[in-house]
Amino acid sequence: MNSFMKKTKAWCLSLLCGSVLLAGAAGLTTEAQASSNLQMRSVLVYTGSNQPEYKTEDIVNLSKGADHFIIVTTKTTAASADITDFANQANKIVAANPQAKLWISTPSRNSTSSASTYDASITGFLDAVKKAIGQTNWDKHVKGIYINFENIYLDGPDTGTKYTGANWTKTLQSNMNDNTVVKTMRSIKQWAKSNGSLNVAWAPYVTPHNDQLKRLAYVINENIADVVLLQPHYYFDGNKVPLLVVDKSITNGYLSYTDGKPIIPANDSYIKLRSANIGVDMEIDGDASKSDRYNLYKEYETTFRKHSNKPFTYYLGSATQMNYKSYAGKQLWEHLVEFYTSL
């Protein structure tokens, strides 16, 4: 989550279920192995002047369950103060937990960002953060870069393209190869590999828009991200369809419809279906004090516990919210620790 706003989305089962089942889709053998087998028990840690500060005690508590800390900004532009905030947050985490593994996020981009903002300022920000953190802590603690875009917002030359018909994957492939967001993601991956052979993580949300879902499937299939942490959004709107999509996708290793069918068709003439390292973004915030929200969160635990060998992250809201109590009377960070230590 790049903001703490409650999002409202209208999910449609017909969009997320394949109309024609492929024989044996659930047990499909893919063309290539997953880009990474990295397992991680991580947490999103927000930083910046617009966010409350994490105390040393907060980091110690989170470290009881999490071993990876994804330092995230909600800002779309980065001033020198923001770079300092990243460095201070990183240094605070490793001081409290000398074994901590860090992931550094890019500046945020969202559905209102113009194509012109996907430029060299993004990797320039990473250069500056690396310098501010210092080579010693960078080499010892920084394990990856977090692409702070929650979806593929632009669609090449034609944002109204509908991916239908016999050759829709050909159109998709062409548009995605010409897509500004995708090109930027590739440049971030190249930067990561050139600055310590770092991994790349991405946490897109599962969208109800079928064409957007196909864009998402294509980018996941390209293995630009070594770790994909899908956001179900179920906790926020109570619609179970995205939860099922995430569950099926983790099991299969490719973005899937609720029936298990791959969104990128098997044996396609234009795109080879590949395996990806897919995990989940566990979602909980201060509203878990309400019984209905708390019960939705508990379904995450029930649904995803079986994927214990996959990557996980937690969205706990802000530094303040992580200490709020849930309906069960536990602080939110305690739910993270309880779940991670039970896997």
**Residue 110 main-chain phi, psi, to 5 deg:** -140, -170
Q: Is residue 156 very low, low, confident or very high in pLDDT (cuts 50, 70, 90)?
A: low
pLDDT at 203 (0 to 100): 98
Partners of 46 in beta bridges: 72
pLDDT at 166 over 70: yes
pLDDT at 212 (0 to 100): 85
Query: What single-letter DSSP state applies at residue 45?
Result: E
Q: What is the domain extent for residue 201?
A: 28-342
pLDDT at 1 (0 to 100): 64
- Domain membership of residue 10 (yes or no) is no
- Domain membership of residue 84 (yes or no) is yes
Residue 75 CA: distances (Å) to CA of 83, 158, 339 = 11, 27, 30
329: exposed, middle or buried (Cβ count in 10 Å: 0-12, 13-18, 19+) = exposed
Contact 238, 296 (CB under 8 A): yes
- Domain membership of residue 338 (yes or no) is yes
The C-alpha atoms of residue 312 and residue 337 are separated, in whole angstroms, by 12
User: What is the tens place of the pLDDT at every residue in 90-147?
Assistant: 999 999 999 999 999 999 998 889 989 999 999 999 999 999 999 999 999 999 999 9
CATH of the domain at 43: 3.20.20.80
Q: Is residue 304 very low, low, confident or very high in pLDDT (cuts 50, 70, 90)?
A: very high
Lowest average pLDDT, out of 15-24, 222-231, 310-319, goes to 15-24
- Domain membership of residue 3 (yes or no) is no
Across the chain, mean pLDDT equals 89
pLDDT at 209 (0 to 100): 79
Q: Provide the domain count of the chain.
A: 1
- Domain membership of residue 238 (yes or no) is yes
- Domain membership of residue 166 (yes or no) is yes
pLDDT at 7 over 50: no
CB proximity list for 189: less than 8 A, separation 6 or greater: 200, 224, 225
Q: Is residue 14 very low, low, confident or very high in pLDDT (cuts 50, 70, 90)?
A: very low
- Domain membership of residue 294 (yes or no) is yes
Is the whole model's pTM more than 0.85, yes or no?
A: yes
- Domain membership of residue 17 (yes or no) is no
The C-alpha atoms of residue 81 and residue 291 are separated, in whole angstroms, by 40
Q: Hey, what are 26's tokens?
A: 């659930």
pLDDT at 112 (0 to 100): 86
